[in-house]
Amino acid sequence: MNEFLPISRADMEARGWYYCDFLLVTGDAYIDHPSFGTAIISRVLEDAGFRVAILSQPDFRDEHDFIEMGRPRYAVLINAGNIDSMVAHYTAAKKRRHDDAYTPGGVGGKRPDRAVTVYSMLARRAFPDTPIYIGGLEASLRRFAHYDYWSDQVMPSVLSSSGADALMYGMSERSVVELAKNLKAGKHGIDAVRDIRGMAYFAPDASDVPFPAVECPSYEQVCESKEDYARSVKIQYDQADHVRGKAITQAHGKRVLIQNPPSKPLTTEEMDKVYALPFARTYHPSYDAVGGVPAIQEVQFSIIHNRGCFGACNFCALAFHQGRYISARSHDSVVREAEQIAQHPDFKGYIHDVGGPTANFRFPSCHHQEKHGLCMNKRCLFPKACDNLEADHRDYLTLLRKLRQVPGVKKVFVRSGLRYDYMMADDNDEFFLELVKHHISGQLKVAPEHMSDNALYYMGKPSFSVYEKFRERYARINEKLGKKQYLVPYLMSSHPGATLDDAIQMACYLNKVGYMPQQVQDFYPTPGTLSTAMYYTEIDPRTMKPVYVAKTPEEKAMQRALLQWRKPEKRPLIVAALRKAGREDLVGFGKECLIRPKPGEHWEKPSAKQGQKKNGKGEHRGKQANRPTRPPKHGGKPTNPLAGIGPKKGKKRKG
């Protein structure tokens, strides 16, 4: 096993160190695996010749654990862990979670709320004169003034609340090495970060920005005006491209936040070098006594082969964090990792995943991006596949074939986010056939998210008809191969724009195909996404038009319950929802009905003007605004009903 980096003063002294160059503080347990940002950043710095020590989940009641490690020579680097600390602690209903998969023993409460801010304050107390730099998902998504769902208010940049010197956003291998070299060369303050892409910092004014820049509404303006908030988010997304993106300035009182343009993605050769670093590929042995760290189970025998996602769903933070540009590792690099996995004493022959943000992306969506970047006001897959999209799975298929041939490997699974709309844009069935034949363990999980085109528009997802065609194609291939495999759809309730009528439409569809999901994800307004901006402002930043938002706990509960209408405990909510929507026609004994009437229960006879439904705001819609609430026909039954929507329970989606 490769040697772990020091996690204590005693570990450093055992190496003959009396100081470290960088103290890396994280809200996760220390897992030295390339699925974890802490592991990658620490190993990249080590490879660049710097001494790095890890301070994992320090006691956040005081600065004692920081002082115990000793002052680092150059800086303290801080992240909250692989997952936002507030998401780690609270459900979408703001209920406290009791466990934490990224903590030894899986116990909750080992990291503080708003971990980046708390750790930064403790580091400042412990080392008043040492620079502090924050990064990772939590910091990256809070780099501008942002809406905070948990306090229900607009908050300033996390740089302001944390008091850190600067913030690294996105994938930071380039940024952190450049910063380290600047600090070693004696640069300090703004001089250490001014010229580094992927960096944000405060300055007295915007007179010395070394990149072309655009200004977005100030912190004070976005607090006062929801229209300004929506505009600011649109500007931030427009510039989130490493080719054409400009620096962005945002005033915070008498200071100005300056975000430099995004860092350039790693080349294939650079990615290969990162993933070849000497990772131990497991958690630190000090956690053995409490049963290890649950988070390793999903990734220990998985392989990441790409980064970025040009799908750019509005509710997903990937476009704002990793970006939409695809970068990928070489086949040789991935195969070498598989060979290394196969030598692990606990490996049973199954590679759990070969994926990334989206498993079946290996290249940028078109050649235009290489020179001009991704289009500012266009999406590659929304509202339909772009005419310039190059949908080609041959390279990914070749990679999977090579992995199947690695000695000791019995099965290679693909589980992390296949884009079914991208698969439908590829007319060649070769990949689809081998996926179904070799890379699925009884069920395939995809994310249509909803069945209403109205809701899907606000999600930035393609029309539901694309999913239906995919479902039928999947059924035909299963039948051709003699397989009985299921399709498990991930679904979301209460997304901005989704009305009660939309939820009823989805319930009717699920009833029609005979499937009730065991798990439904409520929309979670996490910082940094377009959907969160819609939730807070009730404005679509893409168009600046009003958006209906289900905000009351009652309506959100109704929308969720409608997707699980067969559960007896959901009946009161279903009754309330159908009455509110004027859908008494869905109560009865017909096969299209969602619930059965109880003896003595009074239901109004469906009106002859059943088409005149109420909209989500309780107002009657005119005929032109009316959307069909019955599930539309989509070309008949699938060839193999077993390959339709299956009854098997899927695992809960991450993040």
Query: Residues 372-394: pLDDT tens digits?
Result: 999 998 999 999 999 999 999 99
Cα–Cα distance, 28 to 32 (Å, whole number)? 11
pLDDT at 622: 33
Tabulate helix, strand, coil % of the chain (nearest 5). Answer: 35, 15, 50
Q: What is the mean pLDDT of each run of 10 residues along the chain (655 residues)?
A: 90 95 98 96 98 98 97 98 96 94 95 98 98 97 97 98 97 97 97 97 94 97 98 96 96 97 96 97 96 94 95 89 93 98 95 94 92 91 93 97 97 92 95 96 92 96 96 95 92 97 96 86 95 98 97 94 92 94 92 89 62 41 34 36 40 41
Q: Which region holds residue 600: left if phi is over 0, alpha if psi is between -120 and 50, else beta?
A: left
Cα–Cα distance, 532 to 538 (Å, whole number)? 9
Cα–Cα distance, 46 to 386 (Å, whole number)? 42
Q: Supply the pTM of this predicted model.
A: 0.90
Q: CA dist 605 to 586, 609, 618, Å?
A: 11, 11, 20
pLDDT at 653: 43
> CA-based diameter of the chain, in Å?
85
Sign, CA torsion 499/501/504/510: negative
| DSSP label of 263 | P
Cα–Cα distance, 352 to 329 (Å, whole number)? 18
| Pairing, β 306-307 against β 411-412 | unpaired
pLDDT at 650: 40
pLDDT at 323: 87
Binding site per annotation, positions: 309, 313, 316
Contact 298, 351 (CB under 8 A): no
Cα–Cα distance, 11 to 18 (Å, whole number)? 10
Judge residue 506's burial from the number of C-beta atoms within 10 Å of its C-beta, 0-12 exposed, 13-18 middle, 19 or more buried: buried
Sign, CA torsion 91/94/99/100: positive
Crossing angle of helices 571-581 and 553-562, rounded to 10°? 100
Quick check: helix, strand or coil at residue 236?
helix
Cβ count within 10 A of residue 343? 9
pLDDT at 605: 65
pLDDT at 624: 32
Please give the helix or strand (H or E) that residue 398 lies within, else none: helix 394-404
Domains in the chain (CATH in brackets) are: 9-259 (3.40.50.280), 297-441 (3.30.750.210), 443-451+478-655 (no CATH)
Cα–Cα distance, 194 to 360 (Å, whole number)? 37
Tally the residues of the chain. Answer: 655
Contact 176, 77 (CB under 8 A): yes
Quick check: helix, strand or coil at residue 596?
coil
Cα–Cα distance, 280 to 59 (Å, whole number)? 25
Under 8 Å CB-to-CB from 335, ≥6 apart: which residues? Answer: 402, 403, 406
Long-range (24+ apart) CB contacts under 8 A made by 117-120 are: 117/158, 117/161, 117/162, 118/60, 119/25, 119/27, 119/58, 119/60, 119/78, 119/80, 120/78, 120/162, 120/163, 120/164
Cα–Cα distance, 208 to 193 (Å, whole number)? 12
pLDDT at 641: 31
Quick check: helix, strand or coil at residue 79?
strand
Binding site per annotation, positions for [4Fe-4S] cluster: 309, 313, 316
Quick check: helix, strand or coil at residue 447?
strand
Q: Name residue 148's beta-bridge partners.
A: 153
Cα–Cα distance, 356 to 186 (Å, whole number)? 38
pLDDT at 655: 37
Sign, CA torsion 355/358/364/369: negative
